Structure 1
């Protein structure tokens, strides 16, 4: 009966039409938090999935490294496609360009109905000169030009179809020397790490033994930490399960990735056909995690962290560049219109304010509690004193009565008359 009464339509009865209209409006604006049936907002992830699949994805990656380190082969191996055609051998007499050039190749890749617009930016000529001073300028300028193009598209009146050509990741190829980072590598990484997600890899790691690779990784990480170079690390979320946390930790433990690229299939001694390279002493399998870290690199770039790479580029790297660019142009933020805030900083401020509010409420509650305790103790002491005074008064009265009774008893026993109180002594005139 209670439920039927609560669900019955409510009526407004008032002679004043303004009051009745206001009451009716208030009743319509009531937010009922109890769901009376299935709504279906749990299907939002499915809607986002359908929208994303229909719209497609895009991913822009840049490969930086010296010639001959297998950049093109590794890209073809990563995406299992012939994005780069076989390169022709150039004769020694041919003049070589004196500057680093930027080449961009795009391709549409589809897998299980999901379309990916892949753009690979290559940097041929990097590190190939005797004097490599400022050879990184074309690379940095290309990254900044892509940021500028995106910023210009955002400032236009029509922003419906903005093409994202920003670099989402830079795969930096390190020559397998086995010693440490070269000064050129350190300088380029210092120029790039604030603008892109930097992912270092050891190229052609099959030229080193397992012990040499392990020692080489330790030296590279030591150089990176010494020069305070930021490399991409997978984000950690509170809702991640143990399996996801362990998977991310295993991926990050392989940085820098020791990789081997190969597109051709070879046959192993046990008759298996695998992607790899054949040597007189055996076969290097590209997709075997015991042979190289190619699987972990592919897992980070494509399977697990592609969206994180894009989000970090948009929310952190691009925002920092945009703020510096606008500040250099003299653009100031008008706080009276809106205020740009970092969600993480805003959340931390709200948490601090909430904790301060809770602490203040706790102090006030403690003060009120102490005041109540003091008042109660004062009342108890006052009641105790009143009881003690009454007790003493009653005891004194009982002592007087007992004394009077003792005196009466003594007079009766001795035969003396008992004098009544209030009777006057002396002679009578009658």
Structure 2
């Protein structure tokens, strides 16, 4: 076993310690890409939560419009793109809405368009990657995070929710949230969360963040804390209300005001910090290293097998042609 290489002392300053700064400048100039998908029934506040997470009006709620539309037999995918800037950091945000999921009387295979959309983005990226004259920077439309909205019934997951989460977890990073959690008391909320966690564990639903032993100890501790919060019980609101003379984002009801950013009222702050302040880059890297790599490997193996089979058929045809007539 080779021994570890010991660092060689320098006699004077060289300057390669500026590498992180050089990389940072290039990244800031190019900007970052983050693609998030929202899946859930109409009326659970998917658009509102996204707008609340990124503190700007990015997508309109389609719930009210859909109430007056003819029911659709399939789920339509609606990607919306925005460039948002915070303290000089540019983020190209792609929001993929899946309106109408689970709203029909017959929801059989209603998840197929969602899974197909995710796989199509992997396929498009792979095609660009395998092009002989490929772009220096490939536009990344792969879904980095899927927010799965759970109806706050207090009873448990629907069979369709279990099925879809299992299928989604094979191709994308799934983060479940309990929508409009202010409709539950704190006791009901905690019991509901425990019930959902038990159902997800029983059904072997693999959620992000994954339990990876390669992580450092502090990362594992952080991920353990996050997993203890999943599913996040959230409330979203773009409206401001006044509490003790201060304007905060919240919702009024007959019992008082729900402050979205108050940890005692809901877990929105934990979800926001998780998605944007601690795990945004890891979501992107996990998509590439885990989900896309798995897709890429399967596609290349299938291509190799198809090529080998085609070569074998050609060789067989050539041998048959080379045989003398009548044999």
For Structure 1 versus Structure 2, the TM-score category normalised by the shorter chain is 0.7 to 0.9
Query: How many corresponding residue pairs?
Result: 300
Q: Specify the alignment match of 2:72 in structure 1.
A: 97
In structure 2, the residue matched to 1:66 is: 41
Structure 2 matches for 1:375-390, cutoff 5 A?
A: none
Change in Cα spacing, 1:264 to 1:155, as seen in structure 2 (3 Å) is: same
Q: Distance in 2 between matches of 1:87 and 1:101?
A: 12
Q: Say if 1:96 and 1:247 are closer, same or farther in 2 by CA, change over 3 A.
A: same
Q: What is the deviation of 1:43? A: 2.1
Unaligned 5+ runs, structure 1? 1-31, 335-430
| 5+ long unaligned stretches in structure 2 | 1-6, 309-327
Partner of 2:82: 107
The equivalent residue for 2:127 is 152
TM-score by length of 1: 0.66
Matched, 1:223 2:199: yes
Query: Aligned residue for 1:39?
Result: 14
* Residue 60 of structure 2 is aligned to residue 85 of structure 1: yes
| Map of 1:385 onto structure 2 | none
The structure where strand makes up a greater share of residues is 2
How far is the alpha carbon of 1:155 from its aligned partner? 0.5
How much has 1:247 moved relative to structure 2?
4.7
- Out of 116, 122, 128, which is 2:97 matched to? 122
1: CA distance, partners of 2:52 / 2:96: 16
Change in CA separation of 1:333 and 1:305 when aligned onto 2, cut-off 3 Å: farther
- Cα separation, 1, equivalents of 2:260 and 2:66: 31
Deviation at 1:286, TM superposition (A): 0.6
Residue matched to 1:233: 209
Q: Give the 5 Å matches for 1:161-172.
A: 161-172=137-148
Give the TM-score, by structure 2 length.
0.86
Q: Equivalent residue of 2:128, what SS?
A: helix
Please say if residues 209 and 223 of structure 2, whose CA atoms lie closer than 8 Å, have aligned partners that are also in contact: no
**CA shift digits 1:36-90 (9 cap, x unpaired):** 2112222222222111111100000000000000000000000011101355844
Closer, same or farther: CA 80–226 of 1 in aligned 2, 3 Å: same
Task: Give the Cα–Cα distance (whole angstroms) in 2 for the partners of residues 245 and 148 of structure 1.
Answer: 32
Distance in 2 of aligned mates of 1:84 and 1:218: 32
- Partner of residue 52 from structure 1, selected from 27, 31, 36: 27
1:202 aligns with 2:178: yes
Name the one with the larger helix percent: 1
Change (3 A) 1:295 1:329: same
Deviations 1:7-28 (A, max 9, x none): xxxxxxxxxxxxxxxxxxxxxx
CA RMSD of superposed structures (Å): 2.2
Secondary structure of the structure 1 residue equivalent to 2:85: strand
1:333 and 1:312 map into 2 onto residues whose CA distance is 30
